[in-house]
Chain A
Amino acid sequence: MKVLLRNPDREIVLPGRRRVRELLQELQMIPETVLVIRGRELLTSDREVGEEDVIEIRPVISGGVR
């Protein structure tokens, strides 16, 4: 699968199927800090993603003074 990461924008390719929860663990990301997006849908941690998928992992944390 193709995984798009942000800030800075970059792309990685991973083989095989896995649950979103496992994908985030592999990438050492905390589920509370990212949206996992496939096309126009948001994926919860129990959803499976596979070889053919393009997944965006979008951070939700803003810093500095708000």
Chain B
Amino acid sequence: MKCRKCGGSAAVELRRHNTAYCADDFLAFFRHYTLETIRKWKMFEKDEPVLVAVSGGKDSLALWDVLLLERYDTTGMYLDLGIHDYSKASRAKCERFAAERGATLQIVSVAEEVGGAIPEVRTVTRRPTCSACGLSKRYLTNQAAVSGGFAVVATGHNLDDEAATLFGSVLRWQEDALGRQSPVLLASHPKLARRVKPLFRITELETAAYSFLRGIDYIVEECPFSKGATSLLYKDVLNRLESQAPGTKHAFLLGYLERARPSFERDRAVTLRECIRCGQATTSELCAFCRLVDEVRHKAHTAQRPVSGDP
């Protein structure tokens, strides 16, 4: 297989584009495609401070790498979930990535903010782990952005993530989720930062290839709590379709965003207020994050107290 640009030996085949590139031309393609997405979808400007949420995985580190190479004004933020060796390893990858590039990395600990690390949250609450984890990620990245003066939070969500989310929402016709799904969520309240996904048109295979070819030392191991996650099942189904009909995931997601999303968005009028405790934007009196914190602290406390009748 030959590179479409230079005719050299291809390193990456992009069946959905019916093409292939050598390592250097693929890296150039990846950067160009990411920057085009940022511009086309008006995600942020070159001089605008951007908080990049990094996990130590291939996607977020690839995104941060592109933004640093292109001299965007970025700061990384790593959320320490406290998931045993997995979090230790992923934190070390982020710290090394930032140190090698002279970039600034902020670290926020779920254990400190929630009152327990994710394994503890999993034990003391009945919530699905991914749900409590996702809530903490959205809240704490937003809080760090607003308090740090960042108007924008950029995340490494890729085409596969977004197509799988859309697939799940469509299967159950979750109209709220469909209305919310977008590569750009504008700040609809002074306490909300804009959230953007510059890799949403790029597949997981492409972000992995980019990270490998750039020599980025990312965490290959999976989060131990993601085993059996429905998102993996949806990705598997979509990849089976993709292997028979390249371009399916792209057409599914982009077709939705361009043609169907506006009608779901129109139906979604929510009034935001400030949480009576933390002041963050919410639709209820006490925000979902503060309710999670209450639940974790109350149940952790109850578990430590001897039950009535015990000596």
A and B from one assembly? yes
> Chain A: residues with CB nearer than 8 A to chain B?
6-7, 30-35, 37, 41-47, 58-66
B12 and A44 within 8 A (CB): yes
Residue of B15, B134, B212, B225 with most partner-chain A CB within 10 A? B212
The verdict on B20 contacting chain A, using a C-beta distance below 8 Å, is yes
A63 and B205 within 8 A (CB): no
> Measured between alpha carbons, how far is A7 from B224 in the docked complex, in Å?
10
Residue of A43, A63, A66 with most partner-chain B CB within 10 A? A66
> How many residue pairs between the two chains, A and B, have CB atoms under 8 Å in the bound complex?
95
Q: How large is the interface on B (under 10, 10 to 19, 20 to 34, 35 or more residues)?
A: 35 or more
User: Of B213, B222, B227, B239, which is within 8 A of A32 by CB?
Assistant: B239
> Measured between alpha carbons, how far is A46 from B13 in the docked complex, in Å?
10
Beyond the given A30-B243, A46-B1, A64-B133, could you list 7 further A-B residue pairs with CB under 8 A, ordered by the A residue number? A35-B209, A43-B11, A44-B13, A60-B207, A61-B236, A62-B222, A63-B223
A65 and B213 within 8 A (CB): no
A62 and B226 within 8 A (CB): yes
User: Of B23, B129, B204, B212, which is within 8 A of A61 by CB?
Assistant: B204
How does the 8 Å CB contact mask read for B217-234 relative to A, with 1 for contact and 0 for none? 000111101110101100
Q: Shortest distance in angstroms between B232's beta carbon and chain A's nearest beta carbon?
A: 4
Do A35 and B130 contact each other (CB < 8 Å), given the known contacts A61-B160, A62-B222, A64-B226? no
The verdict on B95 contacting chain A, using a C-beta distance below 8 Å, is no
**In the complex, which residues of chain B have a beta carbon less than 8 angstroms from the beta carbon of A58?**
208, 212, 220
7 A–B pairs (Cβ distance < 8 Å), ordered by A: A32-B242, A33-B204, A43-B11, A46-B1, A58-B220, A64-B130, A64-B222
The verdict on B5 contacting chain A, using a C-beta distance below 8 Å, is no
> Measured between alpha carbons, how far is A58 from B131 in the docked complex, in Å?
27
Residue of A37, A42, A47, A59 with most partner-chain B CB within 10 A? A42
B interface, by DSSP: helix, strand, loop or mixed? helix
> Measured between alpha carbons, how far is A60 from B160 in the docked complex, in Å?
10
B212 and A64 within 8 A (CB): no
**In the complex, which residues of chain A have a beta carbon less than 8 angstroms from the beta carbon of B232?**
61, 63
Q: Which 8 A-B pairs have the closest CB atoms?
A: A64-B226, A65-B134, A63-B226, A60-B208, A63-B232, A65-B130, A63-B229, A42-B11
> Measured between alpha carbons, how far is A3 from B23 in the docked complex, in Å?
22
User: Of B10, B131, B134, B204, which is within 8 A of A62 by CB?
Assistant: B204
User: Of A30, A43, A46, A65, which is within 8 A of B133 by CB?
Assistant: A65
> Measured between alpha carbons, how far is A7 from B242 in the docked complex, in Å?
23
Q: Shortest distance in angstroms between B119's beta carbon and chain A's nearest beta carbon?
A: 14
The verdict on B65 contacting chain A, using a C-beta distance below 8 Å, is no
How does the 8 Å CB contact mask read for B152-163 relative to A, with 1 for contact and 0 for none? 000111001100
**In the complex, which residues of chain A have a beta carbon less than 8 angstroms from the beta carbon of B20?**
44
> Measured between alpha carbons, how far is A7 from B223 in the docked complex, in Å?
10
A42 and B134 within 8 A (CB): no
Do A60 and B133 contact each other (CB < 8 Å), given the known contacts A6-B220, A7-B222, A66-B155? no
B205 and A60 within 8 A (CB): yes
Q: Shortest distance in angstroms between B40's beta carbon and chain A's nearest beta carbon?
A: 22
> Measured between alpha carbons, how far is A14 from B10 in the docked complex, in Å?
25
- Of all chain B residues, the one with the shortest Cβ separation from A64 is B226
A41 and B11 within 8 A (CB): yes
- Of all chain B residues, the one with the shortest Cβ separation from A43 is B11
Q: Shortest distance in angstroms between A13's beta carbon and chain B's nearest beta carbon?
A: 21
